[in-house]
Structure 1
Amino acid sequence: MDFAYSDEQKLLRENTIKFARASLNAHVVERDREQVFSRDLWQECAKVGIQGLPVPEAYGGTALDALSCAMVLEALGYGCRDGGLVFSLCAHLLACVVPVWRHGSEEQKRRYLPGLCDGTLIGAHAITEPDSGSDSFSMRTRAERDRDGWRINGSKTFISNGPVADVAVVFAVTEPAKGFHGGVTAFLIESDTPGFSAGQKFEKLGLRTSPVGELVFTDMYVPPSAVLGQVGGGSAVFSTAMDWERCLLVASHVGTIERLLETSISYARTRNQFGQAIGKFQAIAHKIADMKVQLEAARLLAYRAAWRLENLRNASLDAAIAKLMVSESLLKTALETVHVHGGYGYMVEYEVERALRDAVGSTIYSGTSEMQRNIIGRWLGL
């Protein structure tokens, strides 16, 4: 595996960083404080193709391979200081757009992908429930046969983009006796469908510009054309979403780690204490050295996982390894960046406290660190 940038990938990276710095960072402190999701910035991202990176051009996408997608998302995480916006973009792309592209019927692809790629539509992925959390097997949302379609009742929680979504991939139990593998079906549902409602929007520690909330389905009827993939095939749709999300969402984290590393280096070189730059003190230098090691290891794992998405039959183990290592590296780097900055790091104006708040969620969403260790353990036969 050669991860050297091609000329095209170099240009993609450079252009993405320039775009993010020029267009996405203004008033980020205020947006975070007020918990504002910017539809205008969403549209700006769509203009440069972020929302449709791997989707074929025939459906409005950019047709990039998975590794190139990872490199673009890394550049986005590096150039954009709005962690919530980056997270919403990744949730939309990797957990909604990719499953539609990979599992949708031709009619579904032509109906939804152009709008999902051009920013007209915002997508969500709805599987987590109030009583299930990481235990998808205990899902309670039910889809029962009604005429030629389905009647869905239940609720989902902690749904990224839920309060602003126009279309959602919704998972419901269709044959309880079969369990998660064979008994759950994915549905592609528009938010204006009668019986579909967005519940409360949650306030949270970080990623405040990314709206998260409840979705409630009350006696909601959907036609058979709403089924995404096969009836009973929800586990395959979910697996696709998680493999792509765990492999490529962490690529944006790699970019954030690099930005925090550079921020720490700059501060350590210019902040003087006891007659010298604080970077001359071994305690500070070692923290920053560890950040560099974590960055390089995280990048290699993220790139390898992205490459294997399209070159192996199954990348679930690589996805779990990358998700675990990169998310924990991001959290550690963000915390050490605050420590390097000392009291100033605790202040909002230096913007590193926000990076720490945003980083905490990385070890929880898309499967907690504990779940990733469970997955790795099962692959090892434990």
Structure 2
Amino acid sequence: MEFGWNEEQQARYDEVLAATRAAFPAPPDGGFYSRKDWLRLGEIGMLGACLPQEYGGRGLGALDTARVVEAVGRGCLDTGLVFAAAAHTFACAVPIAEFGSEPVRRRLLPELAAGRLIAGNAMTEPDAGSDSSRLSVTATAVDGGYLLNGTKSFVSNGPAADVYVAYGTVNPKAGFLGVTGFVVERGADGLVVGQPYEKMGMLSCPAGAITFEDCFVPEEQVLGGVGAGAAIFQHSMGWERACLFALYVGLLDRLVEQCVAHARERRQFGRRIGEFQSVSNRIADIKLRLESARLLLYRACWSMDRGESSVLEIALSKLAVSEGVLASAADAVRVFGGRGYLREDGIEAVLRDAVPSTIFSGTSDIQRQLIVKEIGL
């Protein structure tokens, strides 16, 4: 059993962390990310970390990819931007790389890896969130391709995206076997992109609805064949639930540093507040959640790299990270007291950004159901 990183892995982490801090030295200004921000992420290597080298990626496995995302999550104060980039990579670029046709891979993957294109995952619908097997968006076969009709209600990166990975029902009677994945480009006739939602957190990541009105998708832009959509989506969710959540591990590293520094400097009743157990115990709990989540996440990614069935490991990791960062963000607000409620130190932003982690990529309750199913309950 090995708990250390080799020299190459540690050097990569240090390089990415330093590059991220240099590229994003200031907190977000409250607006959406820019194309310049996206290109910087491409230069740092996050967008193409796990994509094949022949398509402009770095060819890293799940564990090394997660370590890259962790470094960016620690170094970048804009969690919404890091989340947007991870969703772009794991929910969109990964299924294109694994299941796209060769012409689509060669045309899109180098652009996605470099940050010249932005991708959005279009799965969630008004009546299909956790239950993704009953999609109302339909895909009707026509000469040379398919016509998509219906609405996807919550597409991260949706208002800004150039490319969408969308899922629709070809055969409603077949259940999840009737779901098919498609690559839809923004200029497609019949694609209507909605306005950005106003959200609680992840403010720099635009999210909104997209609607298909007899939107034609060529045959070569079907992912993995008709009826393979549910399996493709679950494959991408494995990558997302494991590697995307590494950004929160990085964020927790930064949060621990901030809490320790504040507890050393802030004085009340003639003492540093870190000397009060009510404060120091909270920081100890944050550190415990961080290291527990980190180990589970690394274990899940290690299992993925070995080609094992990793449903249990990934669900445990996702649950530990998301619930851990939410509880820790709330504790950090209390450590900072009144300052934690102000925007100046960025602590309240961490809490707002942590809340959706228990919802997207499968809610915490879905993860619990996966866990008990895997252990035989």
**What amino acid sits opposite 2:21 in the alignment?**
R
Q: Give the alignment of 1:71-86 within 5 angstroms.
A: 71-86=67-82
Contact 1:25 1:82 in 2 (8 A): no
The reply to whether residue 264 of structure 1 matches residue 270 of structure 2 is no
- The aligned residue for residue 8 of structure 1 is 8
Residues in 2 aligned to 1:191 and 1:120: alpha-carbon distance in whole angstroms: 14
**What amino acid sits opposite 2:74 in the alignment?**
Y
- The aligned residue for residue 43 of structure 1 is 39
The reply to whether residue 362 of structure 1 matches residue 357 of structure 2 is yes
In structure 2, list runs of 5 or more residues that go unmatched.
none
Contact 2:26 2:77 in 1 (8 A): no
1:197 aligned counterpart, secondary structure = strand
- The aligned residue for residue 331 of structure 1 is 326
User: Aligned to 2:48, which of 41, 48, 52?
Assistant: 52
In structure 1, list runs of 5 or more residues that go unmatched.
none
Q: Percent identity?
A: 45
- The aligned residue for residue 143 of structure 1 is 139
Contact 2:20 2:44 in 1 (8 A): no
The reply to whether residue 123 of structure 1 matches residue 119 of structure 2 is yes
**What amino acid sits opposite 1:6 in the alignment?**
N
Cα displacement string for residues 226-263 of structure 1 (whole angstroms, at most 9, x for unaligned residues): 10111100011101110000000111111111110110
1:45 aligned counterpart, secondary structure = helix
Shift of 1:36: 1.8
Residues in 2 aligned to 1:24 and 1:158: alpha-carbon distance in whole angstroms: 27
**What amino acid sits opposite 2:93 in the alignment?**
V
Shift of 1:17: 1.2
**What amino acid sits opposite 1:156 in the alignment?**
K
- The aligned residue for residue 130 of structure 2 is 134
1:349 aligned counterpart, secondary structure = coil
Cα displacement string for residues 326-367 of structure 1 (whole angstroms, at most 9, x for unaligned residues): 111011111111100000111111110111110111111111
**What amino acid sits opposite 1:73 in the alignment?**
V
**What amino acid sits opposite 1:200 in the alignment?**
Q
1:52 aligned counterpart, secondary structure = coil
Task: Compare the two structures and name the one with the higher helix fraction.
Answer: 1
Contact 1:270 1:277 in 2 (8 A): yes
User: Aligned to 2:171, which of 175, 178, 183?
Assistant: 175
TM-score between both structures, scaled by the size of structure 2:
0.98
- The aligned residue for residue 294 of structure 2 is 299
User: Aligned to 1:352, which of 347, 355, 358?
Assistant: 347
User: Aligned to 2:335, which of 332, 337, 340?
Assistant: 340
Q: Give the alignment of 1:93-112 within 5 angstroms.
A: 93-112=89-108
User: Aligned to 2:371, which of 370, 376, 382?
Assistant: 376
Residues in 1 aligned to 2:33 and 2:40: alpha-carbon distance in whole angstroms: 13
Residues in 2 aligned to 1:266 and 1:112: alpha-carbon distance in whole angstroms: 44
Shift of 1:148: 3.2
Deviating beyond 6 angstroms after TM superposition, the runs of 4 or more aligned structure 1 residues are: none
Computed over aligned residues only, the root mean square deviation of the Cα atoms, in angstroms, reads 1.1
The reply to whether residue 252 of structure 1 matches residue 228 of structure 2 is no
- The aligned residue for residue 309 of structure 2 is 314
Residues in 2 aligned to 1:25 and 1:348: alpha-carbon distance in whole angstroms: 17
Shift of 1:48: 2.1
Contact 2:180 2:229 in 1 (8 A): yes
Contact 2:340 2:347 in 1 (8 A): yes
Contact 1:3 1:303 in 2 (8 A): no
**What amino acid sits opposite 1:140 in the alignment?**
S
TM-score between both structures, scaled by the size of structure 1:
0.96
2:344 aligned counterpart, secondary structure = helix
Residues in 2 aligned to 1:148 and 1:63: alpha-carbon distance in whole angstroms: 33
1:93 aligned counterpart, secondary structure = helix
- The aligned residue for residue 204 of structure 1 is 199
Equivalenced residues, count: 377
Contact 2:182 2:221 in 1 (8 A): yes
- The aligned residue for residue 238 of structure 2 is 243
**What amino acid sits opposite 1:322 in the alignment?**
S
The reply to whether residue 22 of structure 1 matches residue 22 of structure 2 is yes
- The aligned residue for residue 84 of structure 2 is 88
Residues in 2 aligned to 1:78 and 1:94: alpha-carbon distance in whole angstroms: 19
Shift of 1:51: 0.6
Range 18-27 or range 225-234, more displaced: 18-27
**What amino acid sits opposite 1:289 in the alignment?**
A
Shift of 1:27: 4.7
2:133 aligned counterpart, secondary structure = helix
